[in-house]
């Protein structure tokens, strides 16, 4: 792998760590920005996929593992928001139902 591709892969791994931290803090806008930048870096590495060393492949596995964890965190946040919206809807319906009993 060329030096530039290796550097891109290392940057993608660093971005993956930042992305996971942003997902853990529910900073979804930051997650999207970091993911777009990481994708750009990984696409540049993809052109040399036939020349990846074992270390490079290990870094790609780490990127994939961090990505899976970040997806899990974002999914968890989505489910929390959905639950909050459902509870708010139940509350609005209850207020509406009981407001007519005055």
Whose structure tokens read 């929390």?
Answer: 80
Residue 101, pLDDT above cutoff 90: no
Question: What is the pTM (predicted TM-score) of this model?
Answer: 0.77
Q: Report which of 16, 15, 14, 30 is spatially closest to residue 70, judged by C-alpha positions.
A: 16
User: Per-residue pLDDT tens for 15-64?
Assistant: 999 999 999 999 999 999 999 999 999 998 876 666 778 888 899 999 99
Polymer length in residues for the chain: 102
Structural domain spans, the chain: 3-99
Q: How far apart are CA 52 and CA 56, in angstroms?
A: 6
The reported pLDDT for the residue numbered 98 is 84
């Amino acid at each position: 792998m060329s030096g530039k591709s290796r550097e891109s892969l290392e940057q993608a791994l660093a971005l993956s760590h930042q992305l996971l931290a942003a997902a853990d803090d529910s900073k979804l806008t930051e997650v999207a920005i970091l993911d777009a930048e990481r994708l750009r870096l990984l696409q540049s590495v993809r052109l040399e996929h036939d020349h990846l060393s074992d270390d490079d492949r290990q870094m790609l596995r780490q990127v994939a593992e961090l990505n899976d964890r970040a997806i899990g965190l974002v999914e968890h946040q989505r489910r929390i928001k959905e639950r909050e919206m459902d509870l708010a809807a139940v509350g609005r319906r209850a207020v509406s139902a009981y407001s007519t009993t005055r």
